[in-house]
């Protein structure tokens, strides 16, 4: 058993994340990041055009203890200094999650410290706390990852309302699928961004619910429009500029996110906007959101790019919130492949 002081001012939290193809561990002290380690199997996964769950699980098994050891070493602390071990228990690839959860349970038991179960999505939301240590709710959050696209109203550190979300594909999923059509490697988002650099926004794209649909999104029509455009050109033997397709897609996918996020802040009267999830690493999105927030007088808090995509510092950051609430897990904790967004936030 352990003793724990949930009122400790700056607890030291070890975060562990293995929900997809990144084996990550990080140590934070309060909201300050002391270390942040990532071993990725993305290079191997790229050979297969996407994440192969069994390969991810094996890579986690090989990497997890060294990644955790390095995170603790680089933080300049000893195991005894750790106040709690926070681990992603869902959502994600079941086998991959199980590696992190099993490791974290054994590790927390061995060092006699409490275990905290972290929902991956709440980790993405908590990443903003690491960018601005004074950040406090209320704020409007744009969540844009490979599995989720939503606009949330964060009312307190533990209470959220979903204002809207995608009705079909997530925006990151659309980036990945369009990348494949354009012959770009996994992961699609950063490669579309690179390809779009020299391109022009000249290829017609569907309207994307702009100015309609409440705060909801639909990305399957956009993906299909790109597929149809490329296939039609190929069938007719007409050349097309991949860079223009990438740029036009990027603008259509991002502009609607920015427009609706700002509209939500206006409607709710909330003055601060944050964002999280892999797609928030996109430079065009970051610049557009910054410009729109500036124009409308909202404060914008964006996680650094490396804390938008999967990482363990965000898991430790959400662990900190749960620590303060006294929400600890016991050693029966199990991994969960899927958790509906509404359950994430309750």
> By CB under 6 A, is residue 145 in contact with ligand KG4?
yes
For Zn ion, the binding residues (CB under 5 A) are 145, 310
Query: What are the CA-CA distances from residue 67 to residues 26, 97, 115 (Å)?
Result: 9, 15, 18
Q: Which is nearer to ligand KG4, 29 or 184 (CB)?
A: 184
CB of 293 to ligand KG4, least distance (A): 19
Give the chain's length: 346
Which position among 154, 309, 322, 344 is part of the footprint of ligand KG4 (CB under 6 A)?
A: 309
Q: Which is nearer to Zn ion, 145 or 344 (CB)?
A: 145
Query: What are the CA-CA distances from residue 246 to residues 46, 87, 204, 260 (Å)?
Result: 19, 36, 12, 22
CB of 183 to Zn ion, least distance (A): 25
What CA–CA distance (Å, rounded) separates 305 from 286? 9
Which position among 11, 95, 164, 187 is part of the footprint of ligand KG4 (CB under 6 A)?
A: 187
What CA–CA distance (Å, rounded) separates 73 from 196? 40
What CA–CA distance (Å, rounded) separates 287 from 267? 22
225 binds, among Zn ion, ligand KG4, none (CB under 5 to 8 A by kind): none
By CB under 6 A, how many residues form the interface with ligand KG4? 19
Burial class for 272, CB neighbours closer than 10 Å (0-12, 13-18, 19+) = buried
Spatial contact of 124 and 276, defined as CB atoms under 8 Å apart: yes
Distance between alpha carbon 29 and the CA centroid of its chain, in Å? 21
Q: Which is nearer to ligand KG4, 322 or 344 (CB)?
A: 344
Which are the contacts of 255, defined by CB distance < 8 A and separation ≥ 6? 208, 210, 288
CB of 136 to Zn ion, least distance (A): 24
CB of 232 to ligand KG4, least distance (A): 25
11 binds, among ligand KG4, Zn ion, none (CB under 5 to 8 A by kind): none
Of 48-56, 130-138, 187-195, 209-217, the segment contacting ligand KG4 by CB under 6 A is: 187-195
Residues lying near ligand KG4 in the complex (CB under 6 A): 124, 145-147, 172, 175-176, 187-190, 193, 277-279, 281-282, 309-310
């Amino acid at each position: 058993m352990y003793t724990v002081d949930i009122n400790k001012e700056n607890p030291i939290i070890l975060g562990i994340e293995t929900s997809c193809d990144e084996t990550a561990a990080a140590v934070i002290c309060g909201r300050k990041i002391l270390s942040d380690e990532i071993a990725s199997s993305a290079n191997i996964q790229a050979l297969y055009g996407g994440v192969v769950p069994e390969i991810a699980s094996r890579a986690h098994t090989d990497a997890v203890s060294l990644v955790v050891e390095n995170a603790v070493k680089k933080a300049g602390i000893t195991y005894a200094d750790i106040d709690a071990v926070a681990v992603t228990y869902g959502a994600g690839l079941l086998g991959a999650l199980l590696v992190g959860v099993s490791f974290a349970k054994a590790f927390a038991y061995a060092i006699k410290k409490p275990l905290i179960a972290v929902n991956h999505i709440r980790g993405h939301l908590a990443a903003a706390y690491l960018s601005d240590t004074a950040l406090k709710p209320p704020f409007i959050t744009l969540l844009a990852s490979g599995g989720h696209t939503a606009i949330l109203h964060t009312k307190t550190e533990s209470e959220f309302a979903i204002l809207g979300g995608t009705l079909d594909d997530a925006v990151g999923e659309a980036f990945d699928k369009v990348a494949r059509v354009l012959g770009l490697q996994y992961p699609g988002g950063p490669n579309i961004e690179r390809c779009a650099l020299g391109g022009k926004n000249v290829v017609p794209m569907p309207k994307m619910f702009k100015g309609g649909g409440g705060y909801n999104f639909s990305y399957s029509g956009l993906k299909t429009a790109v597929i149809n455009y490329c296939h039609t050109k190929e069938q007719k033997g007409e050349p097309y500029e991949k860079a223009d397709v990438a740029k036009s897609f990027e603008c259509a996918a991002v502009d609607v996110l920015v427009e609706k996020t700002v509209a939500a802040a206006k409607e709710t009267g909330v003055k601060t906007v944050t964002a999280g999830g892999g797609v928030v690493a996109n430079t065009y999105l970051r610049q557009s959101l910054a410009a729109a927030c500036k124009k409308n007088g909202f404060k914008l808090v964006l996680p650094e790019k490396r804390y938008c995509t999967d990482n363990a510092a965000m898991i430790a950051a959400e662990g900190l919130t749960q620590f303060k609430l006294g929400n600890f897990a016991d050693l029966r904790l199990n991994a969960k492949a899927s958790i509906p967004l509404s359950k994430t936030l309750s």
